């Protein structure tokens, strides 16, 4: 939950390095690599559940509609369900409420029905789609990076609302979004673990060869 208390306006980035965005016309959501557009911004509303004393969140898109889980099957999937945008109404049984679950430096978002928000890849119609699912082979599919939006960037977004363009690009001198993971540092690079693991393998191989050479030398001395 702490990821969502450090910034009121956030972006969600999937394991595919694509951002969760809201489509204006059809009430759908999808993924896009362009995180600088206003449709990638989500306002966080924190709600305390009196029954469980747990906090959940609502995610409101730039057009005032909320990220909502449904029971409608997604085409050509066995367990995936559609995720849409809806108005905030009474009697929706918490379908626009999400429970953030921390997983390392990332979060999972669990819907009221127990399924997780999932960014999909592959061929159409799955490419760039977003569903909720409770059955998945790779856990990374339901992991999201949370990025806060700096105040000056948000002001630029507000000023772009009247421009008529959905895909607003920002100049290079505008700071990149700050990480919500810490107040003063950037989120960890995605490839840092792989790089450290590669170096570990190389050093292990070097020491193994060195040990083998020393052992062979000692055996020769013993033979003499």
114 & 17 share domain:
yes
- State how far the Cα of 58 lies from the Cα of 46, in Å rounded to an integer: 7
DSSP string, 16-30: TS-EEEE-TTTSBEE
- State how far the Cα of 203 lies from the Cα of 18, in Å rounded to an integer: 35
pLDDT in single tens digits along all 224 residues of the chain: 555 665 689 999 999 999 999 987 789 999 999 999 999 999 999 987 666 667 899 999 999 999 999 999 998 888 899 999 999 876 567 899 999 999 999 999 999 989 999 999 989 889 999 999 987 667 888 999 999 986 555 455 445 444 444 443 333 333 444 444 433 344 444 556 666 777 777 878 777 888 878 877 777 776 65
For residue 186, being part of any structural domain is answered with no
The domain tally of the chain equals 2
66 & 117 share domain:
yes
65 & 152 share domain:
yes
Nearest to 69 by CA among 118, 138, 12: 118
204 & 99 share domain:
no
For residue 200, being part of any structural domain is answered with yes
130 & 217 share domain:
no
13 & 70 share domain:
yes
Residue-wise burial string across 127-156, b where 16 or more C-beta atoms lie within 10 A, e elsewhere = ebbbbbbeebeeeebbbbbbbbbbeebbeb
18 & 103 share domain:
yes
Q: C-alpha 218: how far from its chain's center? A: 55
- The continuous run of DSSP H or E covering 217 comes out as helix 192-223
The enclosing domain of 146 has a CATH number of 2.80.10.50
Half-sphere exposure of 51 (CA within 13 A, CB side): 2
155 & 219 share domain:
no
45 & 129 share domain:
yes
For residue 213, being part of any structural domain is answered with yes
For residue 183, being part of any structural domain is answered with no
Half-sphere exposure of 159 (CA within 13 A, CB side): 8
Query: Which residue bears the tokens 């977003």?
Result: 130
For residue 108, being part of any structural domain is answered with yes
Domain limit, last residue, from 163, 183, 209: 163
81-86 and 99-103 beta bridge pairing: unpaired
Residue span of the structural domain in which 215 resides: 191-224
199 & 118 share domain:
no
- State how far the Cα of 182 lies from the Cα of 178, in Å rounded to an integer: 9
Sign of CA dihedral 214, 220, 221, 223: positive
205 & 142 share domain:
no
For residue 168, being part of any structural domain is answered with no
For residue 170, being part of any structural domain is answered with no
19 & 73 share domain:
yes
């Amino acid at each position: 939950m702490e990821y969502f208390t450090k910034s009121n306006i956030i972006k969600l980035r999937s394991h595919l390095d694509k951002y969760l965005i809201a489509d204006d016309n059809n009430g759908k959501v999808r993924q896009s690599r362009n995180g600088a557009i206003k449709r990638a911004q989500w306002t966080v509303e924190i709600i305390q559940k009196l029954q469980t004393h747990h906090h959940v969140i609502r995610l409101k898109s730039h057009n005032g509609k909320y990220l909502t889980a449904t029971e409608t099957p997604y085409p050509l999937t066995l367990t995936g369900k559609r995720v849409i945008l809806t108005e905030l109404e009474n009697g929706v049984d918490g379908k626009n409420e999400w429970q953030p679950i921390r997983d390392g430096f990332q979060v999972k978002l669990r819907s009221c029905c127990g399924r997780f928000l999932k960014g999909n890849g592959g061929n159409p119609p799955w490419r760039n789609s977003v569903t909720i699912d409770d059955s998945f082979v790779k856990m990374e599919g339901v992991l999201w990076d949370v990025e806060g939006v700096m105040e000056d960037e948000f002001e630029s977004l507000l000023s772009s609302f009247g421009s008529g363009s959905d895909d607003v690009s920002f100049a290079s001198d505008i700071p990149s979004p700050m990480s919500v993971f810490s107040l003063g540092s950037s989120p960890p690079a995605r490839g840092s673990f792989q790089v450290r693991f590669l170096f570990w393998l190389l050093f292990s191989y070097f020491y193994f060869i060195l040990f083998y050479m020393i052992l062979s030398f000692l055996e020769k001395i013993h033979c003499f």
